[in-house]
Amino acid sequence: MNDDSTLLVTVTGRDRPGISARLLSTLSVFPVTVVDLEQVVLAGRLVLGTVIDVDEGVAPGVSRGRVFEEIRTALDKTAIDLDMEVEYSAGNGRVKGVGGNRLRVTVLAAPLRPGALSALTSCVARAGSNIERIERLSGYPVTSVEMDISGGDTEQLRAELAMEASTQGVDVAVQASGLQRRGKHLIVMDVDSTLIQGEVIELLAAHAGCADEVARVTEEAMRGELDFEESLRRRVALLEGLDASAMERVRDDIQLTPGARTLIRTLKRLGYECGIVSGGFTQITDGLAESLGLDHSAANTLEVVDGKLTGKLVGPIIDRKGKAVTLEQFATEAGVPLSQTVAIGDGANDLDMLQAAGLGVAFNAKPVVRQQADTAVNVPYLDTIAYILGVTREEIEEADLDDGSHD
């Protein structure tokens, strides 16, 4: 063994309490330092790897080869006692930190196939990046894994992963890694077709008997023939004369997106502040905010006179630009920098907000939104977004147990 080398010790075997402590205790009697250490348990099998070096402050001038040979003998005996396997390999000097950018890549799929993972990891290699760690976050309702990536061409990696994810039919999120991921965060969601299933104005239009007319105006807006404010005012005008009691019936008919309560409950337990911003109506969103325990809420307000809708709106309009402004206001109120905000939406009206946030997530969104957002989630479970934020299925279930409920 080269006298400048380090020693990598890899121990594998059935996991059980005390294994790591026993192995490290064996090393503790030698004049060595721990340069690197990582432990993984997969399907009940433990893999413990540690890189050690001679501590020259304790044993100056000592032969590394001799110390490492004594360590091999001692660890071989310990491994036999523990019914474990141990392997050794020489390293090239002290372990150095990996330079360049550090990224966290999250992959979501149902199911996740080996071929998809192979294609994605090939993207990492082509970008000149290195995978330092892979960890499974969940096995259901989707399978999600998280990879720590270092070095390489970040822009090339993002582009190739996005293209390959589309080809493989999986969702991939690429984020900067670092301590900021564990800081205080704010998450802000769109409401219609994101937090809830369907569109509130279409439900109101059904009660008013003008569903087809509202749908036609919506189509014009989607084709770019109307801006959001004009389309909203034209659709609201069609509701003139509708009895205000219809809003109560709509509130009763609203269905939350699967996983919505779980996502909010989990993130609040982990210290997040949660909010909603909607191009819909406060008569609906205020009740949602109260029932879900949200910290922030903003929407447009329908004018009601003598118990009937007038077909007009009260106050300023929350449109595409207004959603981004509201996100900034919520962040200021929460004391959270925009870099630590997460925005979730599905339509073009959400794009400014998604682009202003530290992380913009397109949730079952239209193609134009998926292309411009930081990441896209195309499974019908809102709580899968927690995995993108590094939350494990175990943490979600723990939040459910503490709350005594589930979606």
Q: How confident is the model at residue 100 (pLDDT cuts 50, 70, 90)?
A: low
CA distance 247 to 406: 27
Please enumerate in sequence order all residues whose Cβ is within 8 A of that of 26, keeping only pairs 6 or more positions apart, or say none. 74, 75, 78
**pLDDT attached to residue 97:** 47
Please give the pLDDT value at position 95. 46
- Which structure tokens are listed for 145? 């894994």
The burial of 88, by beta-carbon neighbours within 10 Å (0-12 exposed, 13-18 middle, 19 or more buried), is given as middle
- Average pLDDT of the chain is 89
Banded model confidence at residue 405, pLDDT cuts 50, 70, 90: low
Which residue among the candidates 190, 352, 374, 383 is catalytic per the annotation?
190
The per-residue pLDDT for 402 is: 66
Closest CA to 382 of 222, 135, 113, 187: 187
> Which pLDDT score is estimated for 98?
47
Annotated catalytic residue within 171, 192, 295, 374: 192
Backbone angles phi, psi at 27, to 5 degrees: -70, -25
Determine contact, residues 289/330, Cβ cutoff 8 Å.
no
Q: State residue 33's pLDDT score.
A: 85
What is the predicted pLDDT for the residue at 179? Answer: 52
Q: Judging by beta carbons within 10 Å of its beta carbon (0-12, 13-18, 19+), is residue 161 exposed, middle or buried?
A: buried
Tell me the pLDDT tens digit for each residue of 339-348. 999 999 998 8
Tell me how far apart the terminal alpha carbons of the chain are, to the nearest angstrom. 58
How far is Cα 188 from Cα 276, in angstroms, rounded to an integer? Answer: 5
**Per-residue confidence (pLDDT) for residue 377, from 0 to 100:** 95
Percent of the chain with pLDDT over 90: 61
User: Between residues 93 and 189, which one has the greater pLDDT?
Assistant: 189
Q: In Å, how far from its chain's centre is CA 313?
A: 35
SS (H, E, C) the chain: CCCCCEEEEEEEEECCCCHHHHHHHHHCCCCEEEEEEEEEEECCEEEEEEEEEECCCCCCCCCHHHHHHHHHHHHHHHHHHHCCEEEEEEECCCCCCCCCCEEEEEEEECCCCHHHHHHHHHHHHHCCCEEEEEEEEECCCCEEEEEEEECCCHHHHHHHHHHHHHHHCCEEEEEECCHHHHCCCEEEECCECCCEECCHHHHHHHHHCCHHHHHHHHHHHHCCCCCHHHHHHHHHHCCCCCECHHHHHHHHHCEECCCHHHHHHHHHHCCCEEEEEEEEEHHHHHHHHHHHCCCEEEEEEEEEECCEEEEEEECCCCCHHHHHHHHHHHHHHHCCCHHHEEEEECCHHHHHHHHHCCEEEEECCCHHHHHHCCEEECCCCHHHHHHHCCCCHHHHHHHHHHHCCCC
Q: Write phi, then psi, for 67 (nearest 5 degrees).
A: -60, -45
192 counts as catalytic: yes
Q: When comparing pLDDT for 55 and 15, which is higher? A: 15
Q: Note the pLDDT of residue 94.
A: 47
> Would you say residue 181 has pLDDT above 80?
no
Most confident of 41-55, 75-89, 99-113: 75-89
pTM of the predicted model as reported, rounded to 2 decimal places: 0.80
